[in-house]
């Protein structure tokens, strides 16, 4: 029998799929169903991103979305996430999804991620 802590020991993730990164960007600006931290997926452009006021890609290709600037020396994933008002888990989840889809991850982000060896 599972306890309440075990039964609810997961975090839901919302994914939104789009035809283009331009559509994804526009949707994050006007669709109230898309919340900060949600995952954006654009299969045709091999982009996985995080929704926020300025949606950013975790993949090497960003299309019409924003790319992350290089992290400062010593900066952690948690620090980057905090500065962007998302969680480190949001970024890690998006990067894990991109890796599973076979999309190249943004090389600037790689040192901050807890990614399994290929």
The backbone torsions φ and ψ at residue 28, rounded to the nearest 5 degrees and listed phi first, read: -65, -20
In the structure, what pLDDT confidence band is assigned to residue 47 with cuts at 50, 70 and 90?
very high
Q: Are strands 15-17 and 39-42 parallel, antiparallel or unpaired?
A: parallel
Q: Does any domain span residue 59?
A: yes
Summarised one tens digit per residue, pLDDT across range 8-39 is: 666 789 999 999 999 999 999 999 999 999 99
Structural domain range at position 105: 13-111
Q: What pTM was estimated for this model as a whole?
A: 0.89
Q: Does any domain span residue 30?
A: yes
Q: Which two tokens stand for residue 97?
A: 């999804």
Q: Does any domain span residue 4?
A: no
**How many angstroms from the chain centroid is the CA of residue 10?**
18
Predicted confidence at residue 114, as pLDDT, reads 77
Summarised one tens digit per residue, pLDDT across range 65-116 is: 999 999 999 999 999 999 999 999 999 999 999 999 999 999 999 999 976 6
Number of domains in the chain: 1
> Do 103 and 47 form a contact (C-beta atoms < 8 A)?
yes
């Amino acid at each position: 029998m599972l306890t309440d802590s075990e039964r609810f020991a997961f975090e839901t993730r919302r994914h939104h799929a789009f035809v283009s990164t331009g559509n994804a960007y526009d949707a994050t600006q006007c669709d109230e169903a898309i919340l900060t931290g949600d995952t954006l997926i654009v299969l045709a452009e091999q982009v996985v991103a995080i929704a926020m006021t300025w949606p950013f890609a975790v993949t090497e290709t960003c299309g019409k979305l924003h790319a992350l600037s290089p992290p400062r020396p010593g900066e952690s994933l948690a620090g980057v996430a905090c500065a962007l008002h998302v969680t480190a888990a949001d970024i890690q989840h998006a990067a894990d999804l991109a890796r599973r889809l076979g999309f190249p991850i943004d090389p600037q982000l790689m040192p901050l991620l807890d990614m399994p060896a290929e």
